[in-house]
Structure 1
């Protein structure tokens, strides 16, 4: 059975570590908590839908933390400061290989191709994003 969507929109989240202290919106099923009774975003291995729009995320490298969510196929990040960064959409798509929807728009084969080109041009020794196929 799949996990409920996680709604952390409009919570003033800056780094994703802020999600530990935020109470998510209510989904159809309750979300799991860790032994400290906190939500640990990257430990929600079955998570498929994540809403993070309308926050204060200002560093695109925060998206890299989400690669630990192997089934994530839908994400919203619009309304965050990272939305204005050059390569925003390509960076997110290249980091999250299973993504089908981003900011309520489908991820097309053309988006995937552009993300691969963007990744090849911008990858360096310190970047840890996996190659998207």
Structure 2
């Protein structure tokens, strides 16, 4: 579906731009390249590294990929990312985003991804935010197109319950009611 992945996993990479001075992992089916030696792929794997933030992501994608904005699968799992960078919102065709095993602590970080119309799969397990109350409901509410969260399908019942939860939450805000009242 996404062609062969450009794979920089397990490379001890500290910053996104570090990939520009390295070569991707070899595979049985290496990604194709265009006449400018850029990768013809929609998949980028940076998992199991030491990346702390996404500084330089678009420049790196532009240097590596023939069509950087068409990236559909981005694997940033098992890094040291604390914040979901708004640079991801430029990837309008992003469908799968793996962020599990990082250090994302604020549930509101996910809200930035609401502008991605094609995002249907996201992983965040192994981040501190999963212990937040209403974690899944918040993701379903903020990412209406999402079909899979943490490798588990979003059910019709979950969507209905989230809708009720969201209406209840909005009612409490508008009436000034809080849980401590």
User: Fold match, TM over 0.5?
Assistant: yes
What pairs with 1:24-103 in structure 2 (closer than 5 Å)? Answer: 40-103=87-150
State the TM-score, normalized to the length of structure 2.
Answer: 0.54
Unmatched segments (≥5 aa) in structure 1: 20-39, 126-133
Larger-Rg structure:
2
Q: Note the aligned Cα RMSD (angstroms).
A: 1.7
Counterparts of 2:145 and 2:154, CA distance in 1: 10
5+ residue gaps in structure 2? 1-41, 43-69, 175-181
When normalised by structure 1's length, the TM-score is 0.73
Matched, 1:6 2:80: no
CA distance in 2, matches of 1:59, 1:77: 12
CA deviations 1:87-124 (Å, max 9, x no partner) are 00000001001011110000010110111112112234
Report the Cα distance in structure 2 between the residues aligned to 1:48 and 1:75, rounded to whole angstroms: 8
> Within 2, Cα distance between the matches of 1:118 and 1:12?
32
> Is the contact between residue 91 and residue 118 of structure 1 (CA under 8 Å) also seen in structure 2?
no
Q: Could you tell me how far apart the structure 2 residues matched to 1:55 and 1:4 are?
A: 20
What secondary structure is seen at the aligned counterpart in 2 of 1:110? helix
How far residue 4 of structure 1 moved from its aligned partner, in angstroms, is: 3.2
Q: Distance in 2 between matches of 1:111 and 1:84?
A: 18
SS of 1:16's equivalent in the other structure is coil
Instruction: Report matched runs for 1:13-24 at 5 Å.
Output: 13-17=81-85
2-side partners of 1:107 and 1:45: how far apart? 21
